[in-house]
Chains A and B, each alone.
Chain A
C-alpha cells in the first residue's frame, strides 16, 4: 500500500472504530513489526482493535476500498512469522474481542470470541469436570482464534488430537466483509469449510467466534518421568511404547541442553547429567492405570532408563508440565536468540533424525537443543545464536534448512503445528506437487480474489519467490 493512501484510511478507521481503537504513529506501530519469529520484520501502516464482528467486517470493507492488505493477529506467539505485515497493511488485533460467551456443559460446548487466551477458557472451566483439550505450550498467552488459525497442537495431541478435532463451529469475516457461520451442528451436506478454514493462517478469513468442544476430564492420571543416559535409548523406548499398543495421553522428550535451561528456570530437580528425559502421561479410568504405568516403566527400563519416577502429587505434576511447556521460552537463558524448527518424522525415525540433527549442528558450528512431542514424531530442534553475529545467523539458517530437508527425506514434513507463515514458504514446493499447490492457490483465490488477506504467507507466489524482507 502506498503511504499517501494511509492517511485517509486511518481517518476513516478512526471515525468508525474510535481513535482509541486505531494506532497509526510509527512509534506505536513498531512493536507490531514481528511476532515470535524475529528474523524478518516489517512495520504495518495501521493497527486496529475491533470490538465486535461488525467492526471487523467494517475494517475489512474499508481496507478493500483503499486496497490495503490485512493481517489478523491474536497474541502474536507465531513462530513462523504468521503475523508479519508483508508489504505493510493493517493489522487486525483480536485481543479486544475476548469474551467467553457461553459455557454449555450439557452439550459439552463453549462459545468464545477469537481473542480469548486458551488458558482463560481452561480457567473458566476449572472445577466443571471438562476442559478444552488443545494445549499448545504457548497456551498461557496464545488465543483460541490463533490456535484455530494455526490448527495448534500440544503435548496431549497424541491422544486427543489437534485443534481441528475440537472445533465445532466458526464465525468468520470473509475478504469482502461478509460474515460466514459454519456449524456448530455438523451438516453432512455441503463442503467441509471447517476443515478448510482451520489452519488457514489468516489467509482465507478472519475468525471472530469459535464454538469449541469440551472434553471430560480423565478420571485419573499417572505422570512419569524417565531419565535416560542416551537420546537413542529414549526415542527407542518411546517407539516401543506405541508399538506395544499403549496410547499415552502425552509423550514428550527433552534433551540435556533443554534440561539445563528448564532447571535454571524452575528448579524442578532434574539430573543435569541425564542425556534425555521422557515425560509420559497415561490417563483414563483409574482401574487400568497401574497396569499401564507398569508396562511403560518396563519398556523404559528395557532401554536402560536410569530412573522412572511418578509425579508425587498434583502440584508436582503441574510443575513438571510447566517445565515442559515453558522449555522453549527458557532457552532464552542459553543464548540471546533462537530459531525453533518444527519437523515431523515417522516415529520410528526419531532416533535417526535426532542423530542427524546433532551432526548437522556440529557441521555448521551451531548449538542445537531439542524438545519433542516424541509420541507424534514431532521434533523441535532449537538453534541457538546471537542475532548481532551475521555469520552465525547465516549458519543457523543453513543448518535449519538442512534439518528440515532431512525431515522430508525421512518421510516427514517441515511443520507439525507452528505453521508455514513466511518462514517455511520455500519448502512448500518441496512438500507438495505442483498440482496440489495449484489447487490450494485456487481455493485461496476463491476466498480472497484480490489477495489481501495475510498476503505473502502459507502459499508461495506463482514464481516461487518467498516473502520480501
Chain B
C-alpha cells in the first residue's frame, strides 16, 4: 500500500501544479513511513515541503493556501500527533464553505497514518477516527487495499471539499497487490462488497478488513456464509450498499479497532435499525477496540480484534445467541 500511495502522490503532483505536499519529514526523508519517498527530488522543495514541527501551523497554513487556490496535501505524522491541528480542522477547514456561503472552499487532503498492530510506542497506535467523523463539512476516507489507496487519494485531491484521509499503518507494507500505473480515481462515498454471502453482513474498514475477511473464511468453514463490506468512505457513507446487504442477510457485525463508545459501529447500528429494522434477526454486533487507552506493544493483541475473535463472536453472538 505504501508504494500505491507514493504513486498516487506522484501523479497528483505531476498532474496539477496547484498540488503540493507538506508535513513533518515528508521531504528529505520521504516521510517517516517513506510514503513520499523521492518526491522532493522529483518536484523540488517548493512543492514537497518539510514543515516545522507544528501541526496547527501545517493545517492552518495549508488551509490558507487552499483558500488561495492551491490544492495542498498535508501529512500529519501519526494520528496521535494530529490533535494540535484539531482546532484548525474543526473551526476553519471544515466550515469555510458554510461561513463564506460557497465563496471559499478548502479543497485539501489531510493524510493521517493511524491504527495499531506494529508494536509502536505510546501515542503511535491510535484509531480516533470518530473525532473527525463528527465534524460537518469534512469527508473521511479509509482505504484498505493498495488499489483503493491510490484511487481514493486521487479522488480526495480532486474533491472540492476537505478530505481526512486515514492510512492504516499496519497495512502500509503488509497489504500488497498489483496496482494500475495510470491515473484513476475511486469514487468517495461508495463501499465495496469484498465478498458475497447470505447469512451475515460483516462491515469494516482500514486495517481491520484483513481480519474481517479472514473471519469470513473461518465462518465459511463452520457453515456460515458471510458478506463482507469494506466501507472505504466513512463520510459520506454508502447507506444503500449496507441496507441492501442487511435485507439479504438479517445479521450484522461491525468491526473496528477504535474504541466502542462513540465509535462508528454505533452509527452503523443506528442506521441499520432505522432503515432495515424488520429485516434484522439479531441485534447488531460490534467487535471493536476497548474503551481504554491503547496498550503498549506486548498487550496490543489483547486490544485489537483478530480473525479468530471476530469469527468466534459472530458465531456465538449472532448464531447461537
Bind each other = no
- Interface residues of chain B, those whose CB is within 8 Å of chain A, are none
Which residues from chain A sit less than 8 Å from chain B, CB to CB?
Answer: none
